[in-house]
Structure 1
Amino acid sequence: MHVITGGGTGIGRALALSLARDGHDVLIAGRRAAPLEAVAQEGATAGGGTITAVACDLSTPQGVRALAERAGTKVDSLVHCAGGNPAIGRPASATLEEEAALLEETLAGNLVSAALTVTALQGAMGEGSAIVLLGSIAAEHGVGYYGPAKAAVASYAVGLSAALGPRGIRVTCLSPGYISGTEFFAGTMTEERAEALRSQTAFGRTGEPEDAVDVLRFLLSERSRHLTGQNIHLDGGAFTTR
């Protein structure tokens, strides 16, 4: 069983369909039932695999327990795509209480959800299993609270790789740049902003969900058997490590 959080849209959706087409059984999770069910129905005609959907809040223990119950006792991989930037489209905080709520929501949706999901599922994983946590280029560029939250996810992946390595479980972080065809910007992306982001890449184009899927399929496969504890930047060169 391959578990994908945030599987109703964007990268998670594309990965779920790719795995199902190749005959794998996939469990997708997220807060909204409608897009999850739509992906599950699409997966029914994609190939030999199945896609099962479970709607739950992964930032809460009860939500993660619901996911773990559906996942069962053998999980081959976990790809944590759930998360986002709740500040997008939201007016500036007028009070300290509003600012605190924004910070807590950002951390809950990104870091807390990743940690709880891993904690709930790692017991069902064993030798050869893989965990991939989605980070973001925002961790390097500094974007409100979202950047620090994703930086924490990347740091968490490093420590997790050391903890789970003796069990033969690989852990990596995949940090995309701007990926088109997702709901991340919630309709706020202008053509001017998109062009500015494209111009930051070496190729002059935005990423597509399929670009991430190709990397993820490698990270989930036996071909990545000696790769763990790394933060892989998928942004067309918009951010380079030296």
Structure 2
Amino acid sequence: MREQQGERRRLAVVSGGGTGIGAAVARGLVEDGFDVLVVGRRGDVVDAAARRIADECGRAGAVRAVTADLTDPEQLAAVLDAVDGRTVDAVVNNAGGYLGGPTGTLDEVAAWWRANLDANVLTAVLLTEALRPALRRPGGRVILLSSIAAQRGGGGPYSAAKAALHGWAYDLAAQLGPEQITVNVVSPGYVAETEFFGDRMTPEGHAKRVAATLVGRAGTPDDIAAAVRYLVGPSAGYVTGQVLGVNGGSVFGR
């Protein structure tokens, strides 16, 4: 995949790209003409997603799977190997999720918090820092996927971890702005059709979350992907250091 002289195919790296929002983002970027590296911990899942997206978009070879646990600095080498010297136009940090666990002792509380911070913050920091030298200058894009929980709470260490991404995004936007690289956060509300809730979601829980929106429906992965596609695209070159809420009006911007 080494970039050839005169070649202008854009390259995006999407973490957590095997399912749900990440897979929708990856597919949307392929439709927009990007080559995409889909990164995830579960090799079988990212492999299947890469094949499916390439087949559905009719772009064989445009999507590649990379298996890596982004909480482990050593495994970032697999991502850099897949980039293979190319310029990276966009990094979409979607890896993460709510991790539960026992909290009966202080040791268990510490482990619970560290697991959520690692999964949601450290993954984004390590991937972005690994790819930072390769970002296109000017014109590179960094996107962080947060959550409505960062603004209204309710998720304990998950809420805190997602809120941490906002502060880091502001710092990163200030650092990279002079090089005309933008950094933005997309903050989804309730999105159905993902693995986020696992078997925890009940019909009552779904109805409650839909009722909290102003538009009377759950979000979809494609709703979130559309926001990412805008921020990654040429029309958003003057947008940086922002948190874009995509939540059906369940939390107002602030």
The bucket for the TM-score relative to the shorter chain is over 0.9
User: Which stretch shows the higher mean deviation, 217-226 or 66-75?
Assistant: 66-75
SS in 2 for 1:148: helix
**Mapping for residues 40-119 of structure 1, pairs under 5 Å:** 40-45=50-55, 46-48=57-59, 50-73=62-85, 74-87=87-100, 90=101, 92-119=102-129
Show CA shifts across 1:33-83 (max 9, x none).
111011111123122361100111101111222212212331010101000
**Mapping for residues 209-228 of structure 1, pairs under 5 Å:** 209-228=221-240
Counterpart residue type for residue 105 of structure 1: A
SS in 2 for 1:154: helix
Counterpart residue type for residue 93 of structure 1: T
For 1:39 and 1:86, the matched residues in 2 are separated by 23
Q: 1:176 aligns with which of 176, 188, 197?
A: 188
Shift of 1:240: 0.4
Q: Does 1:137 align with 2:148?
A: yes
**Mapping for residues 148-187 of structure 1, pairs under 5 Å:** 148-187=160-199
**Which residue of structure 1 aligns with residue 43 of structure 2?**
33
TM-score (norm 2): 0.91
Q: Does 1:201 align with 2:190?
A: no
The percent identity for this pair of structures is 39
**Which residue of structure 2 aligns with residue 4 of structure 1?**
14
Distance 1:22 1:140, change over 3 A: closer
- 8 Å contact from structure 2 (residues 116, 161) kept in 1: yes
Task: Give the number of aligned pairs.
Answer: 239
- 8 Å contact from structure 1 (residues 176, 235) kept in 2: yes
For 1:122 and 1:187, the matched residues in 2 are separated by 37
SS in 2 for 1:232: strand
User: Which stretch shows the higher mean deviation, 199-208 or 65-74?
Assistant: 65-74
For 1:68 and 1:155, the matched residues in 2 are separated by 26
For 1:48 and 1:33, the matched residues in 2 are separated by 21
Runs of 4+ in 1 over 3 A off after TM superposition: none
Gaps of 5+ in 2: 1-10
Gaps of 5+ in 1: none
TM-score (norm 1): 0.95
SS in 1 for 2:30: helix
